[in-house]
Amino acid sequence: MKNSVESLLEHDHESLGQLLAELEAELAKPNIARAFELLDLFWARLAVHIRAEKLHLLPAVESAPNRSLLGKAVCRHVKRRKTYSRVSALITISS
């Protein structure tokens, strides 16, 4: 069973993904003003999420006796970072 921190972090991942989808939709319209509002919200929420991971997830991973789960977590984060880079590129192109 997942603990509350793990559930919260997973919810953050889903919520950030939804926010990116909304951002991409606004860029496609193009509704640049709304896209920048969403981008500001995304970066603020991402910063809070990263802080939570630093405080709760990373210490748990470092102290875990079985680090095989670390590989899976790293792969998920690499995929997300690619998505974030893609959004940054879209914003640059649109501005």
List, in order, residues 6 or more apart from 30 with CB less than 8 Å away: 94
pLDDT of 61 above 70: no
Radius of gyration in angstroms for the set of CA atoms belonging to the chain, rounded to a whole number: 15
Triad 13, 15, 18: Cα angle to 5°: 110
At 6-59, the pLDDT tens digits run 777 788 888 998 999 999 999 999 899 999 999 999 999 988 888 888 887 777
Residue 22 pLDDT:
93
Question: What six digits make up the tokens of 37?
Answer: 């509002």
Break the chain into its structural domains and give their ranges.
4-94
Query: CA 58: distance to chain centroid?
Result: 16
